[in-house]
Structure 1
């Protein structure tokens, strides 16, 4: 059972669609649910043949996000019918702008951060995080929630909140970069926030870091967030496209 990022005891989600599709030795679970703010959130859970579980959470408040996410999915051809059903359901849930909750984009980010504990689901948390990151100079963010194997140090389970280009996490997962991500390795061993330029990179990290730049991850702030259990590690990565000297 996955450990929740936020307290779900007062969860305000409404499940709209759910499908489990086996593809060769893997299987993908796609779920669509509606947030209390009236926009939809997509959850894609990949259970690999090696039993590693990789989950992506994507807000569909922006209608283009689903199109980009589905187009980049390595299993997109197998999941075409499911994505079409999700898109139809999403469109049916769209409400007139006047009926939606509108927040002042200039709200004090410190005040916004103080609202995190009140979030009842990940959709609410992502909406809040997007506002805070933007106001503080960030362009993209990812929150990784990892269950680390105590014997091997590898990732047994990963849950990601996607606050970046919808295609990036597909590429990241498909190329198994979660096995050697230097930012995740830093977070496993440290508790203090740091900037990405201070994390030592190995020769195997070149393609990961080079490709990340193409998706807006040029300058990064890496913030470990450890739970009481050593098996779980949280990592917030906030980035922008500016050079590291100024970003």
Structure 2
């Protein structure tokens, strides 16, 4: 059931812009993929893409350490939209080597070991997922953390030499949840248990009152190190709709 009439005019305008952005992205590039964490922002984009038939493929990184609730969202997307989200897994040999050398949960011991785990379970699979596309889409928002405060709607991913788009860059958390409610989008049940940002199970906890939305990610680290390596090699470019080049 959809209740789009309950949306404010401001959010209606954001939705219209989002739809136009996604259409432009799908038309501009021969092949585009959306990297979904299966959390709230990414379910919003999943709905925006699949409900309108936008030419953007959707995949998820199955790290081998995800919550059962997160994995369950893959089936919920299949049931709701008739779409099978492509899954990319880490290389088993690399995982086995890391565990043998450092231990299963060595990421708690140092930032270097945590980043190495993320490299194996997330970054390398992401590189494979994006090897055949000219652009990718994320659900990142500026409001999420200090590491994303300067996020741009359109960027160049220098590591992979492809375009990168963050269509929800200026959306607030309230915007996201208003959209999800209005369009009756399925959401990860962990959100209702205090998880605004969801990653691997051992690296994610519920947040406390007053904490920012990513405080539960790698909570043992300082705020300025809380990225896994997926989003640190980008250069801002002209925003679509403002004389952006094709």
TM-score by length of 2: 0.29
When you count helix as a share of all residues, which structure comes out higher?
Answer: 2
**Relative contact order (C-alpha < 8 Å, sep 6+): which is higher?**
2
When you count strand as a share of all residues, which structure comes out higher?
Answer: 1
